């Protein structure tokens, strides 16, 4: 059973839209997380991205039965970080278990401080998020960006 995202918040969990980032940070992680936050906050864009993510679930997996798998949102966030930041799984494992803002983005609250991702769990799930999947999502996000920003008018 694999959910797209668990919309039911737990005690102590912060809404993704309410996560504040250091705008002065020069590191790529907060900037990337802000971009993912923007995708999450726009319902139409989020649905398009999740439509692509639904395609990474192997065809033999019954999404309605069985034990809980890693949410597609978590795979998306962690997979994007791994590919964009060029991290290996050991680095991703450390950051996923210790980076406060990332854990908030993954839906962990105060009650989940003890939850730790296993290295093999990350490898098994994040490997589904391939560069090809990221490219499809990039196309959707760029198209959305053009709609939001619009094209500049040419001066004659």
Per-residue pLDDT tens for 77-135? Answer: 999 999 999 999 999 999 999 999 999 999 888 888 888 999 999 999 999 999 999 99
pLDDT higher at 13 or 72: 72
Cα angle 5, 41, 101; round to 5: 75
Q: Judge whether 1 lies within some domain.
A: no
Q: Judge whether 154 lies within some domain.
A: no
* pLDDT for 62 beyond 90: no
- Domain total for the chain? 1
* pLDDT for 155 beyond 70: no
Q: Judge whether 155 lies within some domain.
A: no
Q: Provide the domain limits for residue 58.
A: 16-149
Q: Judge whether 88 lies within some domain.
A: yes
Distance between CA atoms of 57 and 72, rounded to whole angstroms? 9
* pLDDT for 1 beyond 50: no
Q: Judge whether 89 lies within some domain.
A: yes
53 within 8 A of 4, measured Cβ to Cβ: yes
Label residue 13 by pLDDT band (50, 70, 90). confident
Q: Judge whether 3 lies within some domain.
A: no
pLDDT higher at 139 or 67: 139
Label residue 147 by pLDDT band (50, 70, 90). confident
Q: Judge whether 64 lies within some domain.
A: yes
Q: Judge whether 83 lies within some domain.
A: yes
Distance between CA atoms of 145 and 18, rounded to whole angstroms? 22
User: What pLDDT score was predicted for residue 12?
Assistant: 74
* pLDDT for 55 beyond 60: yes
């Amino acid at each position: 059973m694999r959910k797209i995202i668990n919309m039911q918040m737990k005690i102590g969990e912060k809404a993704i839209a309410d996560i504040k980032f250091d705008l002065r940070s020069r590191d790529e992680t907060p900037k990337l997380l802000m971009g993912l936050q923007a995708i999450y906050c726009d319902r139409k864009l989020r649905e398009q991205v999740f439509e692509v993510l639904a395609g990474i679930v192997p065809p033999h997996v019954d999404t309605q039965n069985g034990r809980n798998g890693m949410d597609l949102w978590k795979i998306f966030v962690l997979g994007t970080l791994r590919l964009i930041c060029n991290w290996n799984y050991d680095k991703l494992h450390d950051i996923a278990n210790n980076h406060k803002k990332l854990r908030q983005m993954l839906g962990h609250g105060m009650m989940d401080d003890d939850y730790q991702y296993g290295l093999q769990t990350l490898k098994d799930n994040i490997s589904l998020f391939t560069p090809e999947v990221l490219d499809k999502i990039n196309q959707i996000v760029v198209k959305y960006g053009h709609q939001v920003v619009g094209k500049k008018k040419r001066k004659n």
